[in-house]
Amino acid sequence: MLVADIGVFIKQRREKAGYSLKKLASLSGISDSELFKIENGTRQNPNWKNLCEIAKALDIHPFEFLLEAEYISETDINPIIRLKGLDKLNSSELDLVQLYVDFLLEKRNEIMKGTGGNK
């Protein structure tokens, strides 16, 4: 996929979200003319800061643009399994998520050892 296809991707995501061009421009803090240039591919090298602001307004991660342009692949992103919305959690909520992940891993280890959690 070409860099110009990022604009098509943005337009598709904008329309899916139900935003007009002016609405997304307003939400992302960039001019509607700049957004139009990005969407139609006349802006050959969109500013990364603008792409990040557009991604934020569309509630997607900016890496999705890099994936769309084939600069990176799914396997380039670590971890391979991505949880959406983690960036919206505060540190204590993230600590709870980590505790739950640790709990699940411990339970799996117990099952793998054949104890099933029973001692």
pLDDT at 90: 92
Instruction: Please give the average per-residue pLDDT across 80-96, as a whole number.
Output: 83
If asked whether residues 48 and 92 sit together in one domain, one would say: no
In terms of C-beta distances under 8 Å and separation of at least 24 residues, what long-range contacts does 22-25 make, across chains too? 24/54, 24/57, 24/58
- Beta carbons of 31 and 1 less than 8 angstroms apart: no
Both 61 and 87 in one domain: the answer is no
Domain carrying residue 104: 83-119
Q: Is 47 left (phi over 0), alpha (psi -120 to 50) or beta?
A: beta
Tell me, yes or no, if the pTM score tops 0.75.
no
Same-domain pairing of 72 and 88: no
Which has more pLDDT, 92 or 83? 92
Query: Quick one: 109 and 64 in the same domain?
Result: no
Overall domain count for the chain: 2
Number of H helices and E strands in the chain, helices first, is 6, 0
53 and 28 assigned to the same domain: yes
**pLDDT of 1 higher than 80:** no
Residues 67 and 88 both lie in one domain: no
